[in-house]
Amino acid sequence: MKSHRERIIEFVKKEKVATSSDVARFLKVSWNTAESHLKDLVIEGKLERMKKKGVTLWILK
């Protein structure tokens, strides 16, 4: 079984751009849990975080 982080990478690769809510729905976890995984992936250098009009977007690096 793949980890949440591996699944997030695959999801963002497929969608090109995602919000924290998109990822939370995809993983069936809370928004806070999704946000935590996304921030960890930024720290690992795998994702980039962009702020657009009050929305945080996540893209592959």
Domain membership of residue 54 as a residue range: 4-60
Q: What is the pLDDT of residues 19-39, one digit of tens each?
A: 999 999 999 999 999 999 999
DSSP 3-state assignment of 17? Answer: coil
pLDDT band at 1 (very low <50, low <70, confident <90, very high): confident
* Pairing state between β 18-19 and 55-60: antiparallel
**8-20 tens-digit pLDDT:** 999 999 999 999 9
pLDDT for position 22: 97
What total of structural domains would you count in the chain?
Answer: 1
Which CATH number do you get for residue 28? 1.10.10.10
Four-point Cα dihedral 4, 9, 31, 44, nearest 10: 90
- Return the H-helix or E-strand segment holding 51: strand 47-52
Give the single-character DSSP code of 53. T
The Cα–Cα gap between 32 and 21 comes to: 9
pLDDT mean across residues, the chain: 95
Task: Specify the pTM.
Answer: 0.91
